């Protein structure tokens, strides 16, 4: 027997369940209870592309140090899915714990000497206490939360308060949930030494923080950015972004007197239509957006190029998931970096934003609309399933009431009235950006918008010099973009030549990995890019480091390819660390990869 895990506020609970059994609310209850005890916590949901009956896992990391990533280990497994039992059992770290439903006997062959196995007859007890079949299934999940409350010392008052809030008007549901909590709690108290050495202790580290998923935060960002038109076609993992926008609008954007809605959401027939709607609405003066995922971006390609060439602002949210079609669409990845950066045909390059957590989703969503309007081009907000659909603990969102949207260069009717002629695609300021007008505002503002063949005056042209002038100006505009996009987040250690460059949801794992490495004497600087094109700071950072690990979650080193293509960095200074199994990258993986690389180097 390995020594028991005695971590206080520092362990990982994983719950193996079957989807469609209501485990999500039980798991949220558990996580929120820990959060309310003031202990930093993060939850990750690994779910199947299915509605009912397939395996699903929920991983809760409790970290007094506030790490928000997966650690790469499991200390306590709640294995209530018989089908995955053997796999779940294997995953537990030596010295850890496993709880299973002892209503049915376990396969004798499946046992481990180095962990503690706790059997609780969850089904049997719930079947006895609840009559209806649905309640029996649901309450079984709540019962394990009760057992964990006893084993880990979760404050029962916190659980009660949470249940009261969740089921406000449904007293019978509150009663049933409390009963199920009690079933698990009492059983654990009677049969095991409670609490376990590995347990929770109240802290005060979650004050001024919220637990929110990135899609909700991004949807809220769209509301605050003043977006009025949203068009979309449902696709996991982006659907909840539009759901959030809709819910917030229903609360915040309906005129209390008239009932009028100050927004319009169109569920399109497909993504080709969704992006067309965004183009139409943006061209016509509204702030418009579409949430989608990789397959949607593929379908939108023609219009993305159209928007680039005709200079229509548009905001696209790509909540990335794994590859095409069926299989792993409910798993996370950063696999669309290249397909977003260079989406469409012809010479195109697009402004991308890379949020790292839900708080940045809120802030960068607003920035996306400002950039799209300022640069008059499609902006793709590149996030992923891990950020979008999992609950993250982040500092409170903030808002400055003096904010006014930057609509960029727009001529008003009054300005047009004073003008002799209006040339839509002229470049009077030398930054590659012309002035636009909104349809209907003034006769002098009208122009005919079309693809690649137009002059500065927006007349039709098939002349080579006109085309070259156009694409050269668009390239100039991309240079301007470098000065406007959000700066990278850099943590530079003096005199350290070794660095990590990464983006998006890798951030949490990198932060922890850097601490672990530093404890081993391996110091690293860190640059997290937040946008494409890469600006001068990224360029300088690369120049100042002779060994750069590029951490990303895809097979083909897409960020690294972009760095090689778009900066002056020499290719052989970059070394990839690639995680692409569909699971959010964990800190252990990064630590191992870097130590291995350094050992290799030392041996060479």
Partner 1 sequence: MSFMRKPDVVHSRAPKNDLGLTRRDYEGGMSTLCAGCGHDAITAAIIESFWSLNVEPHRVVKMSGIGCSSKTPAYFLSDAHGINSVHGRMPSIAAGANAANRDLHYIGVSGDGDSLSIGYGQLAHALRRNLNMLYIIENNGVYGLTKGQFSASADLGTKAKKGDINEQPPIDPVIACIAMGGTFVARGFSGDKAQLVPLIQAGLKHKGFALIDVLSPCVTFNDHEDSTKSYAHTRQFYHPAIHADFIAPAEPIRAAYEKGEAMEVELFDGSFIRLRKVREGYDPTDRSKALTYLNEYMAKGEIITGLMYWEKSTPDLHSIARTSETPLSKLDYGRLSPGAGKLAKIQERYR
Give SS3 for 75.
Answer: strand
Binding to partner 1 by residue 448, rule CB under 8 A?
Answer: yes
Q: Which of 46, 67, 283, 534 binds partner 1 (CB under 8 A)?
A: 283
Question: Given the rule CB under 8 A, which of 59-67, 97-105, 266-274, 562-570 is the region that contacts partner 1?
Answer: 266-274
* Range in contact with partner 1 (rule: CB under 8 A) among 73-81, 109-117, 438-446, 464-472: 438-446
Within 311-350, residue ranges assigned H as helices are: 337-341
Q: Return the number of the residue (459 or 537) whose C-beta is nearest partner 1.
A: 459
Q: Which is nearer to partner 1, 446 or 595 (CB)?
A: 446
Question: What does the alpha-carbon distance between residue 3 and residue 419 come to, in Å, rounded to a whole number?
Answer: 82
C-beta of 169: minimal distance to partner 1 in Å? 16
Write down the least CB distance from residue 33 to partner 1, Å.
12
Binds partner 1 by CB under 8 A, chosen from 1, 168, 451, 536:
451
Of 244, 394, 235, the C-alpha closest to 320 is 235
Site string for partner 1, 389-418 (x = CB under 8 A): -------xxxxxx-xxx-------------
Please select the residue that binds partner 1; options are 3, 256, 259, 430, rule is CB under 8 A: 259
Q: 396 burial class (0-12, 13-18, 19+ CB within 10 angstroms)?
A: exposed
Minimum separation from the CB atom of position 32 to partner 1 (A): 8
Q: Which of 100, 303, 435, 549 binds partner 1 (CB under 8 A)?
A: 303
| Rounded Cα–Cα distance for residues 412 and 182 (Å) | 66
The DSSP H or E segment spanning 137 is: helix 133-152
Least Å distance, CB 269 to partner 1, is 4
Select the residue interacting with partner 1 from 446, 480, 561, 595 (CB under 8 A): 446
Rule CB under 8 A: say whether 281 interacts with partner 1: yes
Q: DSSP assignment of 81-129, as one string?
A: -GGGHHHHHHHEEEEEEEEEETTSPPPTT---SSSEEEEE-HHHHHHHH
Nearest to 35 by CA among 54, 57, 62: 62
How far is C-alpha 410 from the chain's CA centre? 33
In the complex with partner 1, the residue whose CB is nearer, 204 or 400, is: 400
- Please report, for residues 39, 279, 287, 435, 441, the alpha-carbon distance to residue 409 in angstroms, rounded to integers and kept in the order given: 47, 17, 14, 5, 15
**Closest Cα partner for 235 from 13, 83, 49, 33?**
49
CB burial readout 205-229, b (16+ within 10 A) else e = bbeebbbbbbbbbbbbbbbbbbbbb
What is the closest distance, in whole angstroms, from the C-beta atom of residue 454 to partner 1 in the complex?
10
How far is it, in rounded angstroms, from Cα 153 to Cα 147? 10
Out of 285, 295, 408, 497, the only residue in the binding site for partner 1 (CB under 8 A) is 285
288 binds partner 1 (CB under 8 A): yes
The answer to whether residue 255 forms part of the interface with partner 1 (CB under 8 A) is yes
Rounded to an integer, what distance in angstroms lies between the CA atom of residue 458 and that of residue 485?
Answer: 28
Which of 158, 278, 470, 501 is close enough to bind partner 1 by CB under 8 A?
278
The least CB distance from residue 582 to partner 1, in Å, is: 27
User: Per CB under 8 A, does 284 bind partner 1?
Assistant: yes
304-363 positions binding partner 1, by CB under 8 A: 306
Number of residues that bind partner 1 (CB under 8 A): 74
Largest CA distance in the chain: 89
């Amino acid at each position: 027997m390995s020594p028991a895990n005695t971590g206080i506020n520092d362990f990982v609970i994983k719950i193996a369940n079957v989807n469609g059994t209501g485990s999500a609310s039980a798991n949220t209850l558990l996580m929120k209870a820990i959060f309310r005890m003031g202990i930093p916590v993060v939850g990750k949901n690994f779910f199947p592309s299915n509605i009912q009956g397939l395996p699903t896992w929920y991983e809760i990391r409790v970290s007094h140090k506030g790490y928000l990533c997966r650690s790469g280990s499991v200390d306590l497994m709640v294995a209530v899915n018989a089908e995955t039992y053997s796999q779940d059992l294997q995953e537990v770290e030596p010295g850890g714990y496993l709880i299973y439903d002892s209503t049915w006997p376990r396969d004798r062959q499946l046992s481990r000497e180095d962990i503690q196995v706790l059997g609780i007859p969850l089904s049997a007890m719930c079947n006895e206490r609840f009559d209806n079949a649905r309640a029996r299934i649901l309450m079984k999940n709540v019962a394990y939360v009760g057992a964990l409350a006893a084993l880990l010392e979760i404050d029962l008052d916190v659980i009660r308060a949470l249940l009261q809030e969740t089921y406000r008007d449904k007293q019978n549901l509150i009663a049933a949930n409390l009963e199920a909590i009690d079933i698990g709690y009492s059983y654990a108290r009677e049969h095991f030494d409670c609490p376990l050495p590995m347990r929770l202790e109240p802290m005060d580290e979650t004050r001024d923080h919220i637990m929110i998923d990135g899609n909700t935060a991004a949807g809220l960002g769209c509301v605050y950015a003043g977006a009025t038109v949203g068009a979309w076609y449902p696709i996991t993992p982006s659907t909840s972004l539009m759901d959030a926008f809709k819910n917030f609008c229903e609360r915040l954007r309906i005129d209390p007197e008239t009932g009028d809605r100050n927004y319009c959401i169109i569920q399109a027939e497909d993504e080709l239509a969704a992006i067309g709607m965004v183009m139409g609405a943006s061209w016509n003066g509204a702030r418009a957006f579409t949430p989608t995922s990789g397959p949607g971006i593929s379908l939108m390609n023609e219009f993305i190029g159209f928007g680039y060439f005709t200079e229509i602002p548009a905001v696209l949210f790509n909540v990335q998931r794994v590859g095409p079609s069926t299989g792993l669409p409910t798993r996370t990845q950063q696999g669309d970096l290249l397909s977003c950066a260079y989406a469409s045909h012809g010479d195109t390059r697009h402004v991308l934003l890379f949020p790292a957590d839900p708080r940045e989703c809120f802030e960068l969503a607003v920035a996306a609309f400002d950039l799209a309007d300022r640069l008059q081009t499609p902006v793709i907000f590149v996030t992923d399933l891990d950020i979008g659909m999992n609950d993250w603990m982040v500092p409170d969102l903030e808002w400055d009431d003096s904010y006014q949207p930057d609509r960029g260069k727009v001529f008003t009717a009054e300005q047009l009235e004073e003008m002799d002629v209006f040339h839509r695609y002229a470049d009077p300021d030398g930054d590659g950006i012309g002035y636009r007008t909104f349809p209907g505002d003034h006769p002098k503002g009208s122009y005919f918008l079309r693809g690649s063949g137009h002059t500065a005056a927006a007349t039709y042209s098939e002349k080579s010099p006109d085309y070259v002038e156009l694409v050269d100006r668009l390239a100039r505009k991309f240079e301007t973009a470098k000065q406007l996009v959000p700066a990278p987040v850099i943590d530079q250690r003096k005199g350290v030549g070794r660095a990590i460059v990464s983006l998006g949801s890798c951030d949490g794992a990198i932060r922890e990995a850097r601490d672990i490495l530093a404890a081993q004497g391996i110091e690293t600087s860190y640059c997290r890019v937040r946008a494409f094109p890469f600006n001068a700071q990224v360029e300088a950072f690369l120049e100042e480091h002779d060994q750069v690990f590029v951490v990303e979650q895809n097979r083909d080193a897409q960020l690294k390819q972009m760095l090689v293509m778009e900066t002056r960095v020499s290719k052989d200074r970059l070394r990839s660390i690639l995680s692409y199994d569909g699971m959010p990258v964990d800190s252990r993986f990064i630590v191992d990869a870097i130590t291995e690389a350094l050992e290799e180097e030392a041996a060479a």
